[in-house]
A and B are shown apart, each in its own frame.
Chain A
Amino acid sequence: QSVLTQPPSVSEAPRQRVTISCSGSSSNIGNNAVNWYQQLPGKAPKLLIYYDDLLPSGVSDRFSGSKSGTSASLAISGLQSEDEADYYCAAWDDRLNGWVFGGGTKLTVL
């Protein structure tokens, strides 16, 4: 059972937009920044979004992040087949004194 809650899977057609939610509590998302990671099949995770909504250099602006209260969201617009991956949210947890991740969401582009 992950501390941060994500839907196990989402799917959408190419060129459409999809959002992935991440729900936490006051000790993690409510008080700390949220980061998002993309894990392509068989690969290591890659930083996608940091500090709730900032894009690292080289990441497509089709990806965007947002946060409100104890929840965060990742949005992907103009879906492409290469976006098929697992997506994880993460945040520092003040109560556990460690990093916590969501359980991951598998994105399928139909």
Chain B
Amino acid sequence: EVQLVESGGGLVQPGGSLRLSCAASGFTFSSYWMHWVRQAPGKGLVWVSRINSDGSSTSYADSVKGRFTISRDNAKNTLYLQMNSLRAEDTAVYYCARDVAYCSGGSCVYYFDYWGQGTLVTVSS
């Protein structure tokens, strides 16, 4: 059974740092791209970042670029999100999600097939 379990959330002051973890099990973690998606209280889903299967390629939403760093440890089956210079607007539940490809006729499309339960990050003084 595929499982994604986030941890590391909590209360942090503006300007502070936090590192989130996402422990994966039930599948070959090193074969999949992974993402972080966040959801501010009462708001919609917002994509944050993604990393490819071996960690050599990453991308970020403009809102977090230069402040957040996504990484992974395939030996530990764990995805990370290092968050620095945190702002009040970063307050949200952070979900990790697995990226899957569906390929047909020579082209592939992608989607998030499994999500973790989320971890709450609150940025406040």
What 0/1 pattern do residues 74 to 100 of A give for CB contact below 8 A with B?
A: 000000000000101010100011111
Q: Determine the chain A residues whose CB is within 8 A of the CB of B44 once the complex forms.
A: 2, 86, 88, 101-104
User: Which residues A29-63 have CB closer than 8 A to chain B?
Assistant: 32-33, 35, 37, 39, 43-47, 50-51, 54, 56
Closest-by-CB residue of B relative to A92 is: B110
Main DSSP-derived SS at the A contact region: strand
What total of A-B pairs shows CB separation below 8 Å? 64
User: Which residues B41-68 have CB closer than 8 A to chain A?
Assistant: 44-47, 50, 59-62
Our pick among A32, A47, A99 for the contact of B113 (Cβ within 8 Å) is A47
Q: How many residues of B contact A (CB 8 A)?
A: 24
Question: Contact: A37 with B45, CB < 8 Å?
Answer: yes
Q: How far is the CA of A37 from the CA of B35 in the complex (A)?
A: 15
* Nearest chain A CB to B113 CB, angstrom units: 5
Q: How far is the CA of A5 from the CA of B112 in the complex (A)?
A: 20
Question: Contact: A88 with B112, CB < 8 Å?
Answer: no
Question: Contact: A51 with B47, CB < 8 Å?
Answer: no
Question: Contact: B45 with A45, CB < 8 Å?
Answer: yes
B32 within 8 A of A: no
Query: Which 3 residue pairs are nearest across A and B when measured between Cβ atoms?
Result: A33-B109, A99-B47, A50-B111
Binding site for A on B (CB under 8 A): 35, 37, 44-47, 50, 59-62, 95, 97, 102, 109-118
A-B contact pairs, 24 of them (CB 8 A): A2-B44, A33-B109, A35-B111, A43-B117, A45-B37, A45-B45, A45-B95, A45-B97, A47-B111, A47-B113, A50-B111, A51-B102, A51-B109, A54-B102, A86-B44, A90-B45, A92-B110, A96-B62, A98-B50, A98-B60, A99-B47, A101-B44, A101-B45, A104-B44
